[in-house]
């Protein structure tokens, strides 16, 4: 070969080397790989950093992580190694398949003369986003407004915090006093926050806290309960639940496009691809699986990572298996010893004491009966969790996933109780009979005289099991296990007589049982009720104890067509009593004794009240498992509906109506506080608890949360209860319920009447905002007239509006001692209403034009009702039930 040939060969070799290097570089992507690795190829990669385990697609070092945002860095120079996202300062606290938990908090030191502070966070790589469904942004400090934006300055939300001249409270909720929060709307790749201290508060000294702390956190329930740990130190973030970041593969924009490139597609076989919110995709195994009741983790990014362990069914048990454990017979496919059960899922354990145990989901249950005939396993309480209550479970043994799947709890499957335990329905596998018969070596029905049955629950297919054919009995899961039944003529006749006798006795027994059950319920419920009623002389004697038969007749046996309201806590029926009174019957879903106590509380309190503006209780029924309440039927819904469901309806909510309804409700609350036989604090005053009857007269309702006091008491300490948007902040922080707590809630109703906005509404930035804070802020900015309902401005005098604004501001003061009592609120509203009436009387006498009370063309209340119905608000007959359903919702909260 000549010199020219040598040169050509050398150049060709260099080109090949360069091409190979380029290909390797492309495959690694700067250290990241774009193919599916095997477990063996990742053995050299670090598997942990400190106490955090690392698994692919995340990794440390070249060839150990998927190209994109999956590269990690482990800093081992500190006392405890710290793990970071790539080369950023975002520290990881935990690691999952395609998500990470990180520290994301900011300490802002306040400086004299500076009121505006900016903080921000940006994802260190494409494909990393903050989970919008699980994370909340918190800001802790005093007297500031906070605005949150995404990475391109699009507004997400805002909040504000006020301390009213005090230091930050060391416990309580994040509700605008010392702390506020902003929920994310969607996933975001970064954020910017601007925190502005209120000008007139900037100079106030705060001896305990000279800064503001902001952080992103997983969820908000922890901080609603308690902020003590967070506020213990400005630099201690160990008690903050870390926010969750999602990390997507960004080689291609979607699953559809990625699946067209098999060489770089990241998901292995038997896995599911899901598109990410900001582009890219993630992978997960099609089915997780269990091993002897414990979940086994898998990895959809590694070869063979989604292959479950095989646990085949073995239809032939070995000989001489132990089939007794204490008093329990253990039939195949269940067993105690290796080789004596169909597979691991059917293994039971026998203790030295003779107890049979079944393991499901890592929890041990006592087995009391195994029935191959019915396909059921009966168990009693859990061994390792004594606090768990008994439930009915439908179980499916899944051969592919290797575990029992339980839809738990499932209603109306079996009648059960603590006495009889839990009944678990099971199937051999989730295959159909046709599929199972195709592989006879694994087919479970081994007896000649057996058949295959499908196991279903409602619309859920669970799998198949076996049963002996008609005329045979025994165990269909073993060879020759089903044997014939010999039936003679005499036996047949005897069986007929026995069947007839049994039917007669069963019918008598059933009626006797029903009678005894009703007597038991009556004794259980009435005893507690009468104990309070008899000891209270103030209770009116008109409260009636109805029989269950009376209420069944009134509602046509609680027919579904009589349902006028239903919800998570109960159902309301419209009934007609024998004296032709139309009533609303509340049938609540009470299951706990504390809820029975709240029912008694409601009956006792309503029995003591006689007032035209308080909903009337006719009586109750105690012969059912759940006590029933019988109220007057309220036909025209709630004030909340009238205010907020159709704001275009002007004629049925004039300024006169608003003053009248407010005065009637205030009069009822003032009566409860000071004129009733004993003081009663309502504790859940809100517009949905002010009902409107056929004449649109206000009726205060919902006394399940109320508390009564002796005459010498001024407050009572309780578990905080009420509705957000109406809740007194002082009561929320101290737990001390006073009459001023109801005053604050009533102040929120006055704001609703003035502005026609909901107590929690969506502001112009698309974030949720408290109406009371919104009103107070408008007062401070001297812009309150801008938020008043235009109809109010049109119909009312400025003097009248100013009077209601002044009264509302007094009711909404943060400190209860600065608020008026309910009697004063009532007097001021009655005075304003009287002035309004006199003014209208003068106009009538002068024969001047004026707006009628209800509607320009309405001459009687019935026309008003028709207009109410034409406005697409709930009509008479259905609205009454809705209002009472609203009344019942808060009756079953913890007291």
Q: HEC states along 430-444? A: CCCHHHHHCCHHHCC
The pLDDT value recorded for residue 185 is 78
Max mean pLDDT range (351-360, 642-651, 716-725, 748-757) = 748-757
Delimit the CATH 1.10.510.10 region(s) of the chain.
Answer: 634-892
* Region 574-588 average pLDDT: 87
Binding-site entries: 587
Residue 70 in this model has a pLDDT that exceeds 90: yes
* Region 752-761 average pLDDT: 94
How far from 329 is each of 249, 345, 358, CA to CA, in Å?
54, 18, 14
CATH topology of domain 99-247: Jelly Rolls (2.60.120)
Lowest mean pLDDT among 583-592, 626-635, 804-813: 583-592
Under DSSP, the state recorded for 819 is S
Pick the residue with more confidence: 125 or 231? 125
The pLDDT value recorded for residue 853 is 43
CATH topology of domain 634-892: Transferase(Phosphotransferase); domain 1 (1.10.510)
Pick the residue with more confidence: 90 or 234? 90
Residue 531 in this model has a pLDDT that exceeds 70: no
Pick the residue with more confidence: 729 or 230? 729
Residue 648 in this model has a pLDDT that exceeds 60: no
The pLDDT value recorded for residue 867 is 39
Active site residue 728: no
Max mean pLDDT range (148-157, 750-759, 868-877) = 750-759
Pick the residue with more confidence: 560 or 118? 118
Q: pLDDT-based confidence at 445, cuts 50/70/90?
A: very high
Residue 862 in this model has a pLDDT that exceeds 60: no
The upper half-sphere exposure of residue 440, i.e. CA atoms within 13 Å in the direction of its Cβ, equals: 2
* Region 80-107 average pLDDT: 90
How far from 33 is each of 41, 92, 260, 364, 417, CA to CA, in Å?
12, 22, 18, 44, 57
The upper half-sphere exposure of residue 446, i.e. CA atoms within 13 Å in the direction of its Cβ, equals: 18
Q: Is omega for the bond preceding 333 within 30 degrees of 0, making it cis?
A: yes
Is the model's pTM score more than 0.95?
no
Catalytic residue among 311, 390, 684, 789: 684
Phi, psi of 266 (to 5 degrees): -85, -20
CB atoms within 10 A of CB 381: 15
How far from 472 is each of 268, 450, 451, 732, CA to CA, in Å?
49, 8, 11, 68
| Runs of H (alpha helix) within 143-272 | 221-225, 228-231, 255-258
Which residues, 6 or more positions from 175, have their beta carbon under 8 angstroms from its beta carbon? 729, 732
Delimit the CATH 3.30.200.20 region(s) of the chain.
Answer: 513-633
The pLDDT value recorded for residue 201 is 47
Residue from 553, 644, 657 nearest 886 by CA:
644
The pLDDT value recorded for residue 716 is 45
Delimit the CATH 2.60.120 region(s) of the chain.
Answer: 99-247
* Region 293-307 average pLDDT: 69
| Long-range contacts from 320-324, C-beta under 8 angstroms, 24+ separation | 322/350
The pLDDT value recorded for residue 863 is 41
Token pair 């009741």: residue: 293
The pLDDT value recorded for residue 436 is 85
Residue 295 in this model has a pLDDT that exceeds 50: no
Q: pLDDT-based confidence at 739, cuts 50/70/90?
A: confident
Query: What is the torsional sign of CA 318, 324, 325, 328?
Result: positive
Conformational region of residue 352, where left means phi above 0, alpha means psi within -120 to 50, and beta covers everything else: alpha
Binding-site entries for ATP: 587
- Of 3.30.200.20, 3.40.605.10, 3.40.50.300, 3.30.450.20, which CATH number belongs to 513-633? 3.30.200.20
Q: Are 283 and 98 a contacting pair, CB within 8 Å?
A: yes
How far from 16 is each of 2, 12, 296, 631, CA to CA, in Å?
21, 6, 46, 91
Residue 421 in this model has a pLDDT that exceeds 70: no
Label residues 491-519 b or e (16+ Cβ within 10 Å = b). Answer: eeeeeeeeeeeeeeeeeeeeeeeeeeebe
Mean pLDDT of the chain: 76
Lowest mean pLDDT among 465-474, 603-612, 630-639, 855-864: 855-864
Helix (H, G, I), strand (E, B) or coil at 619: strand
Residue 790 in this model has a pLDDT that exceeds 90: yes
């Amino acid at each position: 070969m000549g010199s020219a040939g040598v040169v050509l060969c050398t150049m060709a070799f260099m080109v090949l080397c360069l091409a190979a290097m380029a290909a390797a570089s492309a495959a690694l992507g700067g250290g990241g790989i774009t193919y599916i690795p095997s477990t063996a190829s990742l053995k050299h990669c670090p598997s942990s950093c400190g106490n955090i385990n690392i698994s692919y697609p995340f990794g440390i070092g070249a060839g150990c992580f998927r190209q994109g945002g999956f590269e990690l860095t482990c800093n081992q120079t500190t006392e405890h190694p710290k793990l970071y996202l790539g080369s950023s300062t975002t520290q990881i606290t935990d690691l999952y398949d395609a998500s990470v938990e990180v520290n994301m908090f900011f300490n802002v030191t306040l400086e004299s003369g500076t009121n505006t502070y900016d903080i921000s966070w940006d994802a260190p790589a494409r494909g990393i986003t903050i989970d919008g469904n699980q994370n909340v942004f918190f800001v802790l400090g005093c007297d500031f407004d906070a605005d949150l934006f995404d990475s391109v300055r699009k507004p997400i939300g805002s909040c504000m915090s006020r301390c009213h001249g005090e230091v930050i409270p060391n416990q309580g909720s994040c509700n605008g006093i010392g702390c506020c929060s902003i929920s994310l709307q969607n996933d975001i790749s970064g954020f910017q926050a601007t925190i502005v201290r209120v000008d007139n508060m900037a100079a106030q000294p705060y001896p305990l806290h000279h800064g503001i702390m902001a952080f992103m956190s997983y969820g908000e329930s922890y901080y609603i309960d308690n902020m003590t740990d967070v506020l213990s130190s400005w630099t201690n973030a160990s008690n903050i639940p870390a926010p969750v970041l999602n990390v997507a593969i960004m080689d291609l924009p979607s699953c559809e496009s990625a699946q067209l490139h098999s060489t770089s597609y990241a998901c292995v076989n038997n896995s599911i691809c899901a598109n990410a919110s900001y582009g890219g995709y993630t992978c997960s195994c099609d089915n997780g699986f269990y091993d002897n009741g414990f979940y086994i983790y898998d990895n959809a990014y590694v070869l063979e990572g989604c292959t479950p362990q095989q646990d085949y069914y073995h239809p032939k048990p070995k000989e001489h298996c132990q089939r007794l454990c204490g008093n329990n017979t253990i039939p195949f496919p269940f067993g105690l010893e290796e080789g004596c059960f169909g597979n691991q899922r059917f293994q039971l354990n026998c203790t030295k004491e003779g107890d049979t145990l079944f393991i499901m989901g890592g929890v041990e249950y006592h087995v009391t009966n195994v029935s191959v005939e019915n396909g059921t396993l009966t168990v009693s309480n859990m061994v390792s969790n004594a606090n768990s209550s008994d439930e009915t479970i439908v179980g499916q043994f899944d051969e592919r996933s290797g575990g029992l799947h339980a839809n738990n709890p499932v209603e109306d499957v079996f009648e059960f109780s603590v006495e009889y335990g839990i009944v678990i329905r099971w199937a051999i596998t989730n295959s159909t009979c046709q599929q199972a018969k195709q592989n006879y070596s694994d087919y479970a029905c081994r007896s000649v005289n057996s058949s295959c049955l499908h196991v279903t629950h409602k619309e859920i297919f669970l799998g198949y099991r076996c049963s002996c054919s008609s005329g045979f009995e025994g165990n269909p899961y073993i060879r020759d296990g089903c044997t014939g039944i010999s039936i003679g003529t005499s036996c047949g006749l005897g069986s007929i007589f026995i069947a007839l006798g049994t039917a007669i006795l069963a019918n008598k027994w059933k009626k006797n049982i029903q009678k005894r059950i009703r007597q038991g319920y009556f004794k259980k419920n009435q005893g507690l009720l009468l104990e309070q009623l008899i000891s209270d002389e103030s209770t009116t004697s008109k409260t009636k104890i109805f029989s269950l038969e009376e209420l069944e007749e009134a509602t046509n046996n609680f027919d579904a067509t009589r349902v006028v309201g239903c919800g998570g806590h109960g159902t309301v029926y419209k009934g007609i009593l024998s004296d032709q009174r139309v009533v609303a019957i509340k049938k609540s879903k009470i299951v706990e004794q504390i809820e029975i106590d709240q029912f008694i509380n409601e009956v006792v309190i309503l029995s003591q009240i006689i007032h035209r503006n308080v909903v009337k209780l006719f009586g109750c029924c105690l012969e059912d498992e759940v006590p029933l309440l019988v109220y007057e039927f309220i036909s025209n819904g709630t004030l909340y509906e009238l205010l907020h469901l159709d704001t275009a309806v002007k004629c049925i909510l004039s300024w006169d109506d608003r003053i009248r309804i407010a005065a009637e409700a205030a009069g009822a609350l003032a009566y409860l506080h000071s004129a009733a036989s004993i003081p009663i604090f309502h504790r859940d005053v809100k517009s949905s608890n002010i009902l409107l009857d056929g004449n649109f007269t206000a009726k205060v309702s919902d006394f399940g949360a109320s508390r009564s006091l002796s005459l010498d008491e001024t407050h009572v300490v309780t578990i905080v209860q009420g509705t957000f948007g109406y809740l007194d902040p002082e009561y929320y922080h101290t737990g001390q319920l006073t009459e001023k707590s109801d005053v604050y809630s009533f102040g929120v109703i006055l704001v609703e009447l003035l502005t026609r906005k909901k107590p929690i509404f969506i502001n112009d930035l698309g974030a949720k905002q408290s109406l009371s804070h919104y009103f107070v802020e408008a007062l401070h900015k001297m812009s309150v007239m801008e938020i008043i309902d235009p109809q109010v401005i049109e119909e009312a005098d400025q003097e009248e509006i100013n009077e209601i604004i002044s009264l509302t501001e007094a009711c909404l003061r943060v400190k209860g001692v600065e608020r008026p009592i309910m009697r004063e609120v009532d007097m001021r509203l009655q005075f304003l209403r009287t002035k309004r009436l006199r003014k209208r009387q003068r106009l009538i006498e002068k024969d001047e034009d004026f707006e009628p009370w209800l509607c320009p063309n309405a001459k009687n209340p019935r026309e008003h009702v028709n207009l109410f119905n034409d406005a697409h608000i709930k009509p008479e007959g259905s609205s009454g039930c809705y209002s009472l359903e609203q009344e019942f919702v808060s009756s079953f909260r913890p007291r």
